[in-house]
Amino acid sequence: FEELCEEMLADGIQPVVILDPGVMVDKNYEVFASGLKEEVYCTLPDGEPVRGLVWPGWVHYPDFTRQITREWWGKQYQSLIGMGVKGFWHDMNEPAAFAAFGEGTMPRVARHDLEGREGSHIEAHNVYGLMMDQAGFDAQRKFQPEKRPWLLTRSGWAGVQRYAWKWTGDVESTWSALKMTISTVLGLGISGISYAGSDIGGFSGNPDGELFTRWFQMSTLMAFFRSHAAIGAERREPWVFGEPYTSIIREFLLLRKKLMPYLYTLAFEARRTGAPLARPLFWSQPENRALWHVDDAYLLGNNVLVAPVVEQGAEVRSVSFPKGGWYHYWDDSYFPGDSSATVQAPLSQIPFFIKAGSILPTAEKDGIILQIYLPKEDGEFVSHHYADDGDGYGAYRVDTYHLKRTGDQVLIRRHTEGSYPPEPRMKLVLHGGSTQQIEADGEIVPFNGEAVILPSSEIIQFGLQ
């Protein structure tokens, strides 16, 4: 296993291991034996450890409602981190148990410490996954303090966003499940869980090329981005469906990479404000009742509107636009706010739109490009770009851009927070207008579709043709 981790790390892959709470009953298994010695397992009223049947066979369940148990559990992460593991995936932590009948969890009479108060599994069930996630998070902080903990969990409770990402679990590979994913992720977001998504193509079933591609497109524009399937499902690597699906999926992988500066900025915003990455359309316009029931589209941050295709064979879809103007990402066509329209949605595209007035940071081979989507009317707009080394707790940088349009004149002021060094230079690309030259800190820069500005530029202004 250590050699496998070394190979993955050498290829730039960050290994993540899956951990279930059930500990295999085997007196020769060191983890099991130490758990018996420390008396960390949940018990029945007669004092015997609870037994359940999960993937390893018969297991005992640690009592995560007890501080001593959480510390014991956390010690098990040290050796895995030492071998190169960079993240952890907590699964089956409802906790789950295979059962021919009745409830698929430990018995309701099982005893828990509940931080010294003591009680049954009736009380502890809902917080069991949360306490396991806390134990895993604290362990990562302890054994690799220079790195940010990375944890994915199937279960949790209120407050789980402090410790883990969340995915929607073992959903069906169907069009209805694809649509339901949107409302589920939005519900998680407004409940405080910023990082969420689903298994691409669903979990239980065999999606065809069209369903997998549409699911892949939607997931490209969400926080969680993973393909996964049940044991026994057909292979679903992105290349197994053949053309045209393989080429389309490849383009969306590249799109994900291109949009990473924006997604990373949203992660910073979630850290600072709690705002989720995926937001309901009424997020910035709660008074608009027409948007309250839209459950098949969402905002990615405040500046991107995503309208996934969730019906088989569909190549058009209706879109409701919140206030402000919106540019179609694929052709820069413009749609006014507080309106609706039917837009084209060929298999090669997912309809998504950029808000007028936004400055969207994107990544290209030669650095960062600031995509400037010009407002059609006078007004002031604010956008952000966050950057750092990608992990740890070192230097960071937040560039806040204030864009103001007055008639044909556009003025952009940049305010910087943090000490992380800026890009050596950045390009500007205009959408919705053109100019012949840009003035950056008083220096004239010719404009032929793209203008290069220096990192010291704090004031950029130009007139529109």
Q: What pLDDT, on a 0 to 100 scale, did the predictor assign at position 289?
A: 93
Mean pLDDT of 391-410: 96
| Under 8 Å between Cβ of 16 and 85 | yes
Percent of the chain with pLDDT over 70: 100
pLDDT in tens, 194-224: 999 999 999 999 999 999 999 999 999 999 9
Mean pLDDT of 371-380: 97
pLDDT in tens, 10-32: 999 999 999 999 999 999 999 99
Distance, CA of 1 to chain centre = 28
Q: What pLDDT, on a 0 to 100 scale, did the predictor assign at position 250?
A: 98
Mean pLDDT of 85-96: 97
Q: Among this protein's residues, is 91 annotated catalytic?
A: yes
Mean pLDDT of 437-465: 90
Nearest one of 194, 169, 198, 166 to 182, comparing CA atoms: 198
pLDDT in tens, 251-293: 999 999 999 999 999 999 999 999 999 999 999 999 999 999 9
Nearest one of 210, 205, 204, 201 to 237, comparing CA atoms: 201
Environment class of 127 (CB within 10 Å of its CB; exposed 0-12, middle 13-18, buried 19+): buried
Q: What pLDDT, on a 0 to 100 scale, did the predictor assign at position 448?
A: 87
274 Cβ contact list (under 8 Å, min separation 6)? 192, 194
Q: What pLDDT, on a 0 to 100 scale, did the predictor assign at position 465?
A: 85
Q: What pLDDT, on a 0 to 100 scale, did the predictor assign at position 365?
A: 87
Alpha-carbon torsion angle 63, 67, 73, 78, nearest 10: 170
Q: Taking 90 as the threshold, does the pLDDT of residue 375 lie above it?
A: yes
pLDDT in tens, 137-148: 999 999 999 999
Q: What pLDDT, on a 0 to 100 scale, did the predictor assign at position 85?
A: 97
pLDDT in tens, 331-366: 999 999 999 999 999 999 999 999 999 999 999 988
Q: Taking 90 as the threshold, does the pLDDT of residue 110 lie above it?
A: yes
| Under 8 Å between Cβ of 462 and 435 | yes
Q: What pLDDT, on a 0 to 100 scale, did the predictor assign at position 56?
A: 94
pLDDT in tens, 318-327: 999 999 999 9
Annotated active-site residue in 71, 123, 138, 170: 170
Q: What pLDDT, on a 0 to 100 scale, did the predictor assign at position 366?
A: 80
Q: What pLDDT, on a 0 to 100 scale, did the predictor assign at position 456?
A: 82
Residue 59 tokens read as 């297991």
For all residues of the chain together, what is the average pLDDT?
96
Q: Among this protein's residues, is 287 annotated catalytic?
A: no
Q: Among this protein's residues, is 332 annotated catalytic?
A: no
Q: What pLDDT, on a 0 to 100 scale, did the predictor assign at position 254?
A: 98
Annotated active-site residue in 20, 63, 94, 399: 94
Q: Read off the pLDDT band of 52 (50, 70, 90).
A: very high
The length of the chain is 465
| Under 8 Å between Cβ of 149 and 140 | yes
Residues 180, 181, 182, 185, CA torsion sign: positive
